[in-house]
Amino acid sequence: MLRLPNNLLLLYPFLTSSAVSAWIYTPSQGFGPAPEDHAALFLQANQNPNATASAPFQLSGQLYNLTVNVTELTPTGADTNITNPRVISTVYSLEWPGDSSLNATLEEAQGGVPRLCATIPSSPFSASITNGYIDAGDCSGALGEDCVNALEASSYESSAGCSRPLQADDECRSKWPNGGLATSSLTQGFLNMTNRGFYWRTSAIYSAGNDTLFNSETERLQMAVISGLKSSPVCLRISDNHVSPSDPSTSTASPSWKSAWPFWTAIIACVLSLL
């Protein structure tokens, strides 16, 4: 069963869950604390990650923290012939100041209806951008100061929610990877004081002892743009090993993130015709 990228699901909320929710241990990603299928397994695994990194960032004058956990786990009920199967789970989590809920914290800081969007690249960055990473939280070495400044000055139109792209395409066009950008609101209720994970990514099944996919996730440039009234781009790498263009943790940069849309539009049309 086809699983569509989360940014497309936001644009097509009328698709039925039976058309998009099947998950069979193939590489996948989405917003929320864990995949809908086998959620308990992934939530438990995320409590004891094999590798982790975090970075603080400012938003509306308040200090937040982004954490990325990478965990190897044993998939349950997998339909596979692979011996000693394993799956990599990557989870982005958000910590906010104070002891109140995220929405209450945002209401106090923003003085109105809480608003917070997260934008995440759907595929790896190029090797040159990945190797340009300097320090936790700082995206300027990887993306360049012009792109970072444009992202920090941009936000989402209040009337559009989180459904439109950030207004930084000219400065960042050559930086985004091929897969485009996935975007979601973080005020929908899936973030709470217990589960603060807001984005997950899973690998294909592989045999225990093969570290390729694990190393790919730890060496990958992890990035999120967190947007309220303004935006904060946050970059992380768990391992800062130098990577080559052939490394699975990288990909060739796209001329524009929009280049992936014609392909996915055709896929959407195909799925809709089957409903």
CA-to-CA separations, 22 to 18, 38, 240, in angstroms, rounded: 7, 11, 35
User: Which amino acid, one-letter code, is at 207?
Assistant: S
**Which residue has tokens 């390729």?**
212
Q: What is the pLDDT of residue 258?
A: 37
Residues 6+ away with beta carbon under 8 Å from 118: 31, 92, 94, 162, 183, 184, 186, 198, 199, 224, 225, 226, 227
Q: Catalogue the E-assigned strands of 191-251.
A: 197-202, 206-207, 222-227, 231-236
Q: What is the pLDDT of residue 170?
A: 80
Buried b (16+ CB within 10 A) or exposed e, 115-126: bbbbbbbbbbbb
- Nearest in space to 198 (alpha carbons), one of 45, 43, 31: 31
Q: What is the pLDDT of residue 165?
A: 60
**CB-facing half-sphere around the CA of 128: CA atoms within 13 A:** 9
Quick one: what percent of the chain has pLDDT higher than 90? 42
As given in the structure block, the two tokens for residue 244 are 């080559």
Beta bridge partners of 199: 31, 92
Tell me the whole-structure pTM to 2 decimals.
Answer: 0.81
Regions of the chain where pLDDT drops below 50: 1-23, 253-275
Q: What is the pLDDT of residue 157?
A: 66
Angstrom distance (rounded) from CA 214 to CA 70: 8
Q: What is the pLDDT of residue 1?
A: 32
Q: What is the pLDDT of residue 146?
A: 93
Considering just the CA atoms, what is the radius of gyration of the chain in Å? 18
As given in the structure block, the two tokens for residue 220 are 């990958």
**Domain residue ranges of the chain, discontinuous segments joined by +:** 27-274
Q: What is the pLDDT of residue 232?
A: 93
Q: What is the pLDDT of residue 160?
A: 64
